[in-house]
Amino acid sequence: MKSSLQFLLFQLPFDWRPPARFIVSVAVIGAITAGMTEGIFELMLRYPSHVPRSMLEVLKEYYYEEDQAFIQYLPDCSKYDDELTYTLRPGSCRFIGREFDTVVNANSLGVRDDENSLHSPQIIVLGDSIAMGWGVNDEDTFAQRIEKGTGSTVLNLAVSSYGTVREFKIAQRVDITRLVTIIVQYSSNDFDENQKFFELGNTLPISSEKHYETSQREHLKQVGYYVGKHTTWILKHATWILKQLYYSTKRSILKKLGLVSNSVPANGSYRSEEPFYFFSALKAGFENLVQKQQLKPGSIVVLLVGLPWSADLSRQLLARLGKPEAVAAFLTVDLPQDQDSSYPLDLHLTAKGHAEMATRIIKVIRDRCYLNQKADEDENMHCGSFITIL
């Protein structure tokens, strides 16, 4: 056998190469495979509601890492601010994603509301992209729906990716002497800002304009498309993708067999330090507002939206850190969790989700349900199952 192989090798030319036809065939097959992969991945991004759950997790990773432009980095939609890093750019801009196509209108303060709402609002909404209304038009945000439902002047101060610290900081720029309600929407991506604020002794470093513009350029380059981008990302992350698909499929099978619980926290999971950093930032924010705006003791009702931890933990932290003097009552409000309330891929609230959120908050504001509570009654009896009195 060995002598036969030696004979065959001896007969081959020293500079033997695969036939040109073979090379062309391999190249064509490779190009077709890459093209099909690119096309299929693009179709999944365009129609995420038809994608299996295991693959949807992979798409979400790609969507936010490589595909979706953030409104705070779009030059037509946002501008630099030396105290907040950025605000929305006054005027109108188009903001689109895989599942939405919207127009965002910002007033002279750089927030998504009209000029009239800047004058002594009775209700202000603080938050990030969720409360700002990422993915819906102006009139569909829960802030606008609350204004229509209550007849009160509501000012939406929420800006994409603001943490609790900057949310309260922008509120200092508004006359809130007539304020009666503050709605604070929380997301777990507020963690880094709140942690940094606490660790630096209640100060928050702000990026320079040059750094912001550099980040802006890098982000827009990152989300820009080039031929083969989807396939390149898949090949680069192939090991992670296979692991993700394996564990997701395994969990799905175990759920069907009843070996894994289907229950999930109402507003998601959280890190152990998150609640403390949030309430620390919240307290500091109120102290600054009281100092600058001279809010009366016990004059404000605060609705905390989307907290991923328990009401008991919130009560413990409020007792430990001390309730701000201006606050009459704290309540928590869960985010809607039904299937149509958020986009499958983007995850932000849809117009239906904002409508449900507004309905819950309007009930608290209009009925003042927290005032009707008796000591021996269940805490949610008057306010509804999605609302908890702290």
Residue-wise pLDDT tens digits, 102-122: 999 999 999 999 999 999 999
pLDDT of 44:
95
Ranking 190-194, 202-206, 255-259, 317-321 by mean pLDDT, the lowest is: 255-259
Q: Is residue 376 pLDDT above 50, yes or no?
A: no
Q: Is the pLDDT of residue 381 over 90?
A: no
Question: Residue 27's Cα: distance from chain center in Å?
Answer: 42
Whether the pLDDT of residue 389 is over 90: the answer is: no
Give the span between the Cα atoms of 147 and 154, in whole angstroms. Answer: 5
Q: Which of 37-51, 101-115, 175-189, 326-340 has the highest mean pLDDT?
A: 101-115
Tens-digit pLDDT profile for residues 322-336: 888 889 989 999 999
Is residue 112 exposed (0-12), middle (13-18) or buried (19+ Cβ within 10 Å)?
buried
- pLDDT tens digits, residue range 7-22? 444 454 555 566 777 7
> What phi and psi values does residue 220 have, to the nearest 5 degrees?
-65, -35
362 inside domain = yes
Q: Is 304 left (phi over 0), alpha (psi -120 to 50) or beta?
A: beta
- The number of residues in the chain equals 390
Q: What percent of the chain has pLDDT over 90?
A: 68
- Can you give the pLDDT at residue 7? 47
- Is 25 domain-assigned? no
Domain boundaries, position 377: 93-212+266-389
> Looking at residues 61-70, what average pLDDT do you find?
96
User: Would you say residue 296 lies in a domain?
Assistant: yes
* Predicted pLDDT of residue 71: 98
pLDDT of res. 244? 86
374 domain-assigned: yes
Give the pLDDT band of residue 277 (cuts 50, 70, 90): very high
**pLDDT band at residue 372 using 50, 70 and 90 as cut-offs:** low
Read off the DSSP letter of residue 77.
T
Angle at alpha carbon of residue 327, lines to 322 and 331, rounded to 5°? 90
Domains of the chain: total: 1
Question: What is the DSSP code string of 349-371?
Answer: B-HHHHHHHHHHHHHHHHH-GGG
Element (H, E) at 78: strand 78-81
The CATH number of the domain where 348 resides is what? 3.40.50.1110
Rounded to whole angstroms, how far apart are CA atoms 360 and 380? Answer: 12
Euclidean distance between CA atoms 365 and 303, whole angstroms: 10
The answer to whether position 45 is within a domain reads: no
- What's the pLDDT tens digit per position in 244-263? 888 888 877 877 777 655 54
Q: What is the chain's percent helix, strand, coil content, to nearest 5?
A: 50, 15, 35
Asked if residue 22 is part of any domain, the answer here is no
Cα-flanking dihedrals φ and ψ of residue 347, to 5°?
Answer: 80, -15
Distance of CA 337 to the CA centre of its chain: 14
pLDDT computed for residue 365 by the predictor? 86
Between 2 and 352, whose confidence is greater? 352
Calculate Rg over the CA atoms of the chain: 26
Cα 283 to Cα 318: distance, rounded to the nearest angstrom: 9
Q: Tell me: pLDDT of 339 over 70.
A: yes
Q: Does residue 6 or residue 47 have the better pLDDT?
A: 47
Statement: residue 224 has pLDDT above 80: yes
The token pair at 205 is 């470093």
Q: Is the pLDDT of residue 171 over 90?
A: yes
138: its two tokens:
């102006």
Quote the pLDDT of residue 18: 67
Q: Is residue 151 part of a domain?
A: yes
Residue 112 covered by a domain: yes
Joined tokens for residue 255:
């759920």
